[in-house]
Amino acid sequence: MKKILFVCTSNADRSPALEKYFREFYPEHKYKSAGINNFHCARKGNHYIEQADIDWADVLIFCEQIHQEIVFRNFSFYDEANPTKKKSGLILGLGEYEKGNINDNYLLKAKDKLKTILES
């Protein structure tokens, strides 16, 4: 079982949609989602990423490269069990999406990209 954290901008569209989708198709793992923009998360009542989320996760999945850059800059990214090793992360980089509507094509591309992580 892996603990997977999905990270996007405001935890409104992509990361919660990914969390829900993968929970359904890979129920043997645990999932959470968070946003990197405190202003937008607070305004929308969504979860803003915290150090505890990163500590909890085995793998972090970033919707875009900027999400990873902000997390690396603002949080400790080391594995507590092995302090010399950084936790693994993957940037999805799936491109455009329609706000408020993450379509099946987006989710299928994500599934294809994450398949090896989730099935290992």
For the chain, percent of residues with pLDDT exceeding 90: 67
Q: Which amino acid is at 37?
A: N
Q: pLDDT (tens digit, 9 = 90+) per residue, 61-73?
A: 999 999 999 998 8
- φ, ψ dihedrals at 70, nearest 5°: -65, -40
Is residue 4 very low, low, confident or very high in pLDDT (cuts 50, 70, 90)?
very high
Question: What confidence score (pLDDT) does residue 76 get?
Answer: 79
Residue 101 has pLDDT above 70, yes or no: yes
CA distance 7 to 92: 10
Q: Which of 6, 37, 4 is nearest to 102 (CA)?
A: 6
Asked whether the beta carbons of 7 and 71 are under 8 A apart, the reply is: yes
Question: What confidence score (pLDDT) does residue 89 get?
Answer: 83
The answer to whether the predicted template modeling score (pTM) of the entire model surpasses 0.85 is yes
